[in-house]
Amino acid sequence: MPNLMWLILSLVTASTVTATSVVLALAMTRPAAQASVPGSPSLPSAPLQRLAIVAFFSSLVLAVTGAMIALLEGPDAYQARGGVRLLVSMLALSAAISAVVPVWIARRRAAQGHIVLDERDELMLARATSYQAISMLVVCGAWMIALTEVFWTRGSVPIAHIAFSFWSVLVVWALALPAGLLLGYRSR
């Protein structure tokens, strides 16, 4: 696919998903959105839990888009064509922003007094970072083993594969934060 088409697809996807994630995060943390629904048989979900859902799925869309471009174009195109490198890099950074910004918004709105993050929410935030560390170690280990085995006889690893490993670690780090929050709320 020509670079212009990838550029348009990536820009539209990245900007739409990132903007949607931020707008939903801002909307969910408005004071009016925190009011409980009268007559509701179940407790409403915590603001941080709702933000984690938005952050996870918006980041997942961006990560899958970047991975599809990288897989369809391949490592040779990534290494040879600057447009493909730019697009994959932009989508990976957008995935990280879409995962982290809603959590940052929740903390900022809590500090301003617009929403309440109680002790349970703070505990979930503290534990979510352990999910990030574990997931990054697993991805780094998988890349190290795969690259060592594939390129051992060659004696060097192509730069494209090293870049893919970095971007995959970044995306996994970003996805692990909201995933850790969701797992924490689910287990409590």
In tens, the pLDDT along 5-61 reads: 666 766 677 677 767 766 666 666 555 544 444 554 555 577 788 888 888 888 888
What average pLDDT does this structure show over 77-81?
83
The pTM assigned to this predicted structure is 0.74
Tokens of 26: 């801002």
Cβ neighbours for 107, distance < 8 A, ≥ 6 positions apart: 117, 125
In tens, the pLDDT along 116-151 reads: 778 888 888 888 888 888 999 999 999 999 999 999
Give domain limits for the chain: 3-31+45-187
